[in-house]
């Protein structure tokens, strides 16, 4: 199973969208293990949204959709509704 996920840094008002086959380890990497990359600058992160898929291809397709302007608007509205 693959998961498309959205992380939110309330402290920095940043979102991050990705996909993985191991959400727990990936989340741990974003928040603690990684020493380089985009996500280390905006810690701490919380997982605010997930969708499960049977294939990597489906998860990648949804990730791409969420990274579009329409998808980012969906995420920002979701944050406004549930986290503010």
Sketch the domain layout of the chain as residue ranges. Answer: 2-83
Query: How much is the pLDDT for 83?
Result: 81
Which among 70, 22, 73 is positioned nearest to 47, based on CA atoms? Answer: 22
Inter-CA distances, 2 with 6, 36, 40, Å: 13, 24, 23
Query: How much is the pLDDT for 63?
Result: 98
Query: How much is the pLDDT for 27?
Result: 97
Cα separation of 76 and 36, whole Å? 26
Digit-by-digit pLDDT tens for the chain (84 residues) are 999 999 999 999 999 999 999 999 999 999 999 999 989 999 999 999 999 999 999 999 999 999 999 999 999 999 999 887
Domain 2-83: CATH class, spelled out: alpha beta
pTM of the model as a whole: 0.95
Alpha-helix residue ranges (DSSP H) falling in the chain: 23-28, 56-67, 69-83
């Amino acid at each position: 199973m693959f998961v498309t996920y959205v992380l939110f840094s309330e402290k920095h008002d940043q979102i991050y969208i990705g996909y993985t086959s191991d959400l727990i380890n990936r989340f741990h990497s974003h928040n603690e293990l990684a020493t380089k990359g985009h996500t280390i600058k905006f810690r701490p992160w919380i997982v605010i949204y997930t969708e499960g898929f049977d294939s990597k291809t489906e998860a990648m397709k949804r990730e791409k959709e969420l990274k579009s302007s329409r998808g980012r608007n969906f995420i920002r509205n979701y944050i406004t509704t549930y986290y503010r």
